[in-house]
């Protein structure tokens, strides 16, 4: 549109040359503080037998930085490894409803699908910080 639309003619005339062009990806915002009333999703899971922890952690980091951390209302996320090898994903949001909406946004997202393919879910619960 910028290359042909009349309303961008002045802008096009102001550009002498183009060195490169890329899609803009907004920077990941710093995690926001959580307080009373903030929502939380607590997801417990185990790794599938053929998955190495490092690969899962890379997939988790990509999922959080590229998708979950960019959702409205997202506050922060932590991955916890328990003594028995079970993992707990703690995802914080502005409120419980946003935590559920963000969790629902996983469906069909490539980064989320890659992570989900590596784990065996144990449980998922939602709540609010009191």
Q: List the chain pLDDT tens, one digit each, 130 residues.
A: 777 888 888 888 888 887 777 776 665 556 677 889 999 999 999 999 999 999 999 999 999 999 999 999 999 999 999 999 999 999 999 999 999 999 999 889 999 999 999 999 999 999 999 9
Q: Do the Cβ atoms of 126 and 92 come closer than 8 Å?
A: no
For residue 56, give the 3-state DSSP assignment.
helix
Q: Do the Cβ atoms of 47 and 118 come closer than 8 Å?
A: yes
Domains of the chain (ranges, CATH numbers): 35-128 (3.30.70.100)
Q: What is the pTM of this model?
A: 0.74
Whole-angstrom distance, CA of residue 80 vs CA of residue 123:
14
């Amino acid at each position: 549109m910028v290359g042909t639309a009349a309303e961008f003619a002045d802008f096009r005339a102001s550009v002498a040359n183009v060195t490169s062009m890329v899609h803009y990806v907004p920077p990941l915002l710093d995690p926001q503080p959580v307080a009373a009333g903030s929502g939380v999703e607590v997801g417990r899971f185990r790794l599938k037998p053929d998955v190495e922890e490092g690969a899962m952690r890379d997939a988790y980091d990509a999922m959080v930085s590229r998708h979950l951390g960019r959702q409205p209302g997202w506050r922060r996320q932590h991955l916890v490894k328990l003594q028995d090898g079970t993992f707990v994903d703690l995802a914080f949001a502005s409120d419980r409803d946003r935590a559920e909406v963000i969790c629902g946004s996983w469906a069909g997202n490539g980064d989320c699908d890659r992570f989900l393919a590596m784990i065996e879910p144990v449980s998922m619960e939602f709540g609010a910080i009191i």
